[in-house]
Amino acid sequence: PFELELAVSKKTVTVGTDETVLSALACAGVPVLASCMEGVCGTCEVGVLKGTPEHRDSLLNDGERAKNDRMFVCVSRAISDRLVLDL
């Protein structure tokens, strides 16, 4: 599990091993639009302010991944214990 800190809505959300960031956000009342659920369409992009995402999408190239400034929450998770998201 890892934690999400939502900078705009001032919430903290725990993401369990059996759920996606997208589903954890929806459960916390912060729904993010999504479409493909496979990391290919880009609809669910969220800005990352702090922390290191574990990128599992097929959209970002290596340089974009290394910036750690956005993630696709339908598939991507976290390497760090906590991510601060622009939500």
Write out the residues near ligand FES by the rule CB under 6 A: 34-37, 39-44, 57, 72, 74
Q: Which is nearer to ligand FES, 26 or 36 (CB)?
A: 36
For the chain, the straight-line distance linking the first and the last C-alpha, in angstroms and rounded, comes to 19
**Taking CA 64 as the corner, what is the angle to CA 60 and CA 69, rounded to the nearest 5 degrees?**
105
Residue type, 15: V
Find the shortest distance in angstroms from Cβ 31 to ligand FES: 12
Residue with the closest Cβ to ligand FES? 74
Q: Which is nearer to ligand FES, 10 or 68 (CB)?
A: 68
Q: Which is nearer to ligand FES, 10 or 78 (CB)?
A: 78
CB 57 within 8 A of CB 72: yes
